[in-house]
Amino acid sequence: MPVTKPVIYTVASCPASLKLKEDWRSQGLDFEERPVDNSQKWLDEAVKYGDMVPIIVFGDGKIQVGYQGMIG
């Protein structure tokens, strides 16, 4: 089964969200961004996983809440 790209829930003014996107783009990693400050639907999805952003939902179902320059 193919691995799907990670989904990241972000907020435009969040430094950690900005750092995650910058890091992943510089590494050539593909992801789907869902800015929760632009969509009630995406906000409703995000709060199922945590109460802070960024939230990363990996293709294998693993969830990571927050980002400090490391994954895992």
- Specify the pLDDT at position 63: 96
Q: How far apart are CA 25 and CA 49, in angstroms?
A: 23
1, part of any domain: no
Categorize the per-residue pLDDT at 68 as very low, low, confident or very high, splitting at 50, 70 and 90.
confident
The CATH number assigned to the domain holding 34 equals 3.40.30.10
- Specify the pLDDT at position 4: 87
49, part of any domain: yes
Over residues 19-38, the pLDDT tens digits come to: 999 999 999 999 999 999 99
Structure tokens at 65: 């809440």
- Specify the pLDDT at position 12: 95
pLDDT above 80: residue 11: yes
When the pLDDT of each residue in the chain is averaged and rounded to a whole number, the result is 92
Q: How many helices (H) and strands (E) does the chain have?
A: 2, 4
Instruction: Give the range of the structural domain holding residue 55, as residue numbers without chain letter.
Output: 7-65
Q: How far apart are CA 17 and CA 66, in angstroms?
A: 8
Beta bridge partners of 34: 9
Question: Based on the structure, what is the number of domains in the chain?
Answer: 1
